[in-house]
Amino acid sequence: MDMGTRQDRTGPVERLALLAVVALIALSGIRLCTGPEETLAFLLYDDAYYYFGVARNLAAGHGSTFDGIHSTNGYHPLWCWLLVPVFALVDDPGRAVRVIGAVWFVLAAVAPCALWWALRPRTGASGAVMAAALFGLHGATFGVALALLWWRDHAAVTSFGLRPARRGGGTAA
């Protein structure tokens, strides 16, 4: 696709949609990381506390272990190594959970932008924004997903002069 074509240009609607996704994730993160600790802890369940134990032991110089006795390698090293500096610098477990929550929400806000950037040359701006929104708002309700799909089809019809797909697949030009 030629990068100069209309479908590759990012319009104000696409930029606003991407900004809305990032803002929703960031505002949720701020609210959860500054709110009651129990609410944030409720979101970090199961494996999160296993990672915390391994990262705390790595930061203390005890090696890759959860319980200080048995070695382990049953974790994703990149995420665990992102947690190690937090436990090296923060003594309070509650504060560490908040810092880790903030790291997670920053990554969650950046991820849809990275997906948009990667997909834009292949799908055009509106397709990339839709994918980024669905990815970023993966916890959203089915209705929101349907609205985004409608918006994508509407954008295809109005922006690119495409007619909706006929039964049996494909689009009519």
pLDDT per residue over 65-97, tens digit each? Answer: 998 889 998 888 888 899 999 999 999 988 999
What's the average model confidence in pLDDT over 1-23? 71
**Among 107, 82, 98, 86, CA closest to 39:** 98
- Of 13 and 162, more confident: 13
**Among 38, 65, 70, 41, CA closest to 53:** 65
This model's pTM is above 0.85: no
- pLDDT at residue 161 is higher than 60: no
pLDDT of residue 9: 66
Structure tokens at 3: 């990068």
- pLDDT at residue 3 is higher than 80: no
pLDDT of residue 64: 93
DSSP 3-state percent helix, strand, coil across the chain (nearest 5): 70, 0, 30
State the chain's mean pLDDT as an integer. Answer: 77
- pLDDT at residue 102 is higher than 70: yes
pLDDT of residue 169: 46
pLDDT of residue 141: 40
